[in-house]
């Protein structure tokens, strides 16, 4: 990882937004994405007790996808149609995958979601990582393909080969890289929200 580029990005960011993500200049962006409020909703909709109702979990998944500004307008109706067409056994499998991702064996949950979504051609990084990011905004990362590929290239991250099909192995490695990068910059840059940190990296690359 090119630390000099990261430090230059940090310095430039603070020139534009002296108070970091508390700066008034960033309020319109923060308000538009509203990740804190959606995060609260995800915590309620995917509470442990709700997983006794797989159909409810699947409906809640479609509900959050439809609300999220992180998911493209092109994919929202596809997810809605997927949930409507799911057979009961796949609803059960999908709910089990989400439960494991949030509360149990994260690797197993991740791979189960990829398996189920693959049936519908929707095993995409953004869809697989959405709920876990909202549920644990300070720990997990939302993976956006173009941003991810650009971060790897721009900051010269070695040993990471991006692939379009989500894999837990890549997610774990990339997550550690992002955590190490976050540790090198001020806490004013996304202190409680990892999408804010990747947003900072995206802004740095655009400039």
Mapped onto helix, strand or coil, the DSSP state of residue 120 is coil
Neighbours of 110 (CB within 10 A): 22
pLDDT at 145 over 80: yes
Nearest residue to 131 (alpha-carbon basis) of 31, 43, 1, 37: 43
Band (186; pLDDT cuts 50, 70, 90): confident
- Does residue 91 share a domain with residue 111? yes
Q: Is 158 helix (H, G, I), strand (E, B) or coil?
A: coil
- Please, is 168 exposed, middle or buried when counting C-beta atoms within 10 Å of its C-beta (0-12, 13-18, 19+)? middle
Number of domains in the chain: 2
Q: What confidence category does residue 13 fall into, taking pLDDT thresholds of 50, 70 and 90? A: confident
Same domain, 119 and 46: yes
Contacts of residue 53, defined as CB under 8 A and 6 or more positions apart, other chains included, come to none
41-87 pLDDT tens trace: 999 999 999 999 999 999 999 999 999 999 999 999 999 999 999 99
Do 47 and 111 lie in a common domain? yes
9 and 68 inside one domain: no
pTM value? Answer: 0.89
Burial 32-68 (b: 16+ CB within 10 A, else e): ebebeebbeebeebbeeeebeebeebbebbbebbebb
Q: Say yes or no: 79 and 97 in one domain.
A: yes
Q: Which residues 6+ apart lie within 8 Å of 69 measured at CB?
A: 32, 33, 34
CA 78 from centroid of its chain's CA atoms: 19
Query: Out of 27-36, 107-116, 190-199, which region has the weakest mean confidence (pLDDT)?
Result: 27-36
Domain that holds residue 164: 3-33+141-206
| pLDDT value at 199 more than 90 | no
Of 112, 135, 158, which one is at a domain's C-terminal end?
135
100/168 same-domain check: no
What contacts 183, CB < 8 A, 6 or more positions away?
A: none
């Amino acid at each position: 990882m090119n630390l000099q580029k990261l430090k230059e990005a940090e310095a430039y960011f603070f020139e534009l937004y002296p108070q970091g993500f508390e700066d008034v200049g960033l309020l319109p962006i923060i308000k538009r994405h509203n990740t804190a409020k959606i995060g609260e909703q995800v915590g309620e909709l995917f509470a442990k007790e709700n997983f006794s109702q797989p159909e409810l979990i699947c409906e809640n998944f479609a509900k959050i996808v439809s609300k999220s500004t992180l998911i493209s307008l092109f994919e929202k109706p596809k997810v809605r149609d997927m949930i409507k067409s799911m057979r009961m056994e796949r609803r059960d499998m999908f709910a089990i995958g989400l439960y494991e991702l949030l509360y149990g064996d994260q690797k197993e949950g991740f791979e189960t979601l990829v398996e189920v979504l693959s049936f519908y051609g929707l095993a995409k990084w953004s869809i697989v990582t959405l709920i876990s990011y909202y549920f644990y905004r300070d720990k997990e990362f939302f993976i956006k393909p173009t941003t991810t590929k650009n971060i790897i290239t721009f900051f010269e991250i070695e040993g990471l080969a991006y692939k379009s099909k989500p894999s837990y192995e890549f997610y774990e490695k990339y997550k550690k890289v992002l955590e190490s990068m976050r540790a090198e910059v001020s806490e004013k840059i996304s202190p409680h929200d990892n999408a804010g940190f990747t947003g900072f990296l995206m802004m740095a690359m655009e400039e």
